[in-house]
């Protein structure tokens, strides 16, 4: 395999960040941007999901509802949220994103406790070990990656979308964030289950945008940066030295998107590494040329 840093990434030529910076700082620039908002986050027991929950607390969220399969991790995240902002309410429920009934119950519990959902962050995901070609792969393991990454995302959308529509109509929110990956744009032998599933996530984002944009929902698929999470540890060790980004980078970027500053880019794949001020400067080009979406190239 090639070194991760040498693979063409289809990135925009913008200043790349690897940790939080002024424009997405939830303690300063974005402080108060989430006031009154109810945030629902899956996969919030660790890593990027946990960092995102903390970031929304720093930005003043009214309430944060967190789900994952680990109760211990959820309890730790809840304590971190409460320590960060005592005015932010927090509740959690153990839920597997592939179990429709568990997700439905969690969504209903969130609405019952906090009155609605203004922002939904689909953070839960997984990856198999990148060591086998498709013909040598384990069928159940390969499909399990799809069940969590794609079916789990679909189930989340299925149950949060009515509440996001209601929030959008009330001018409170209506934001839906999918955690995608740079892998969605790559073809790396051994990573077919993960990279194809993330490519499908980008397309799911486009469908949500096509079907619900007139009802005010703003959907984004984001690359969270190269973060050495437990999931990323399944990548070959030769790539680990390239995973230099902090979880707070993606967390701040997500809060920035949900502040309304990036509404014009809804329905697209975006990278947390991109400088947001430079990204905004490209607004007309991105919209005019319909960039950052999955399309076939039909000309040189």
Residue 260 lies in domain? 14-288
In the residue annotation, 27 being an active-site residue is answered as: no
pLDDT of residue 18: 95
Residue 8 counted as domain residue: no
Q: Is residue 4 part of a domain?
A: no
Do the domain assignments include residue 56? yes
pTM of the predicted model, to two decimals?
A: 0.93
Q: What is the pLDDT of residue 231?
A: 64
> How many angstroms separate the Cα of 176 from the Cα of each of 104, 121, 161, 246, 268?
16, 6, 8, 22, 12
**Annotated catalytic residue 266:** no
Of the residues 194, 212, 266, 269, which is catalytic?
194
Say if 3 falls within a structural domain: no
How do residues 160-183 score in pLDDT, each as one tens digit? 999 999 999 999 899 999 999 988
Give the separation between CA 112 and CA 159, rounded to whole angstroms: 14
Per residue in 270-285, pLDDT (tens digit) is 999 999 999 999 999 9
pLDDT at 1: 37
Q: Which of 172, 198, 218, 266 is catalytic?
A: 198
Tens digit of each residue's pLDDT (9 = 90 or more) over 100-114:
999 999 999 999 999
* 98 lies in some domain: yes
Q: What's the structural domain count of the chain?
A: 1
Any domain includes 293:
no
Which of 58-72, 187-201, 286-300 comes out lowest in average pLDDT? Answer: 286-300
Residue 117, domain CATH: 3.40.50.720
Q: How far is the C-alpha of 177 from the C-alpha of 153, rounded, in Å?
A: 10
């Amino acid at each position: 395999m090639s070194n991760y840093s040498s693979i063409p990434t289809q990135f925009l030529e913008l200043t790349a960040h690897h940790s939080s910076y002024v424009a997405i700082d939830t303690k300063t620039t974005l402080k108060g941007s989430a006031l009154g908002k109810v945030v629902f986050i899956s996969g919030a027991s660790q890593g990027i999901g946990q960092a995102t929950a903390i970031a929304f607390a720093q930005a003043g969220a009214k309430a944060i509802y967190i789900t994952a399969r680990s109760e211990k991790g959820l309890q730790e995240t809840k304590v971190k949220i409460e320590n960060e902002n005592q005015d932010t309410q927090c509740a959690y429920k153990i839920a597997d994103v592939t179990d429709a009934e568990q997700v439905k119950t969690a969504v209903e519990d969130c609405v019952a406790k906090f009155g609605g959902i203004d922002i939904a962050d689909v953070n839960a995901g997984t990856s198999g070990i990148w060591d086998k070609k498709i013909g040598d792969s384990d069928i159940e393991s390969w499909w399990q990656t799809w069940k969590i990454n794609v079916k789990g995302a679909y189930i989340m959308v299925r149950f949060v979308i009515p509440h996001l529509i209601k929030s959008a109509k009330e001018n409170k929110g209506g934001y839906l964030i999918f955690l995608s990956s740079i892998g969605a744009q790559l073809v790396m032998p051994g990573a077919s289950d993960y990279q194809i599933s993330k490519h499908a996530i980008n397309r799911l984002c486009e469908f949500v945008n096509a079907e619900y944009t007139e009802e005010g929902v703003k959907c984004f698929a984001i690359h969270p940066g190269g973060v050495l999470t437990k999931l990323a540890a399944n990548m070959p060790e030769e790539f680990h030295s390239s995973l230099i980004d902090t979880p707070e980078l993606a967390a701040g970027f997500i809060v920035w998107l949900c502040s309304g500053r990036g509404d014009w880019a809804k329905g697209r794949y975006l990278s947390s590494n991109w400088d947001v001020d430079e990204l905004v400067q490209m607004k007309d080009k991105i919209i005019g040329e319909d960039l950052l979406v999955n399309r076939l190239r039909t000309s040189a």
